[in-house]
Amino acid sequence: MLIAHVTASVAWLGSVLSYLALAIVGLQATTDFELRAAYIDMNRIGWLVIVPISIASVLTGVIQSGMTACGYFRHYWIVLKLFLSAACLMGLIVHMLPTRAVALRALHGTLTSLDALPIRRQLIFDASLALVVLFVLIALSMLKPQGRLAARDRSNPRRE
> pLDDT tens-digit profile of 41-91?
999 999 999 999 999 999 998 888 777 766 666 777 788 888 899 999 999
Give the model's confidence band at 159: pLDDT under 50 very low, under 70 low, under 90 confident, else very high.
very low
Question: Which of the residue ranges 32-36, 54-58, 115-119, 136-140 would you say has the lowest mean pLDDT?
Answer: 115-119
CB 38 within 8 A of CB 29: yes
Phi, psi of 68 (to 5 degrees): -105, 170
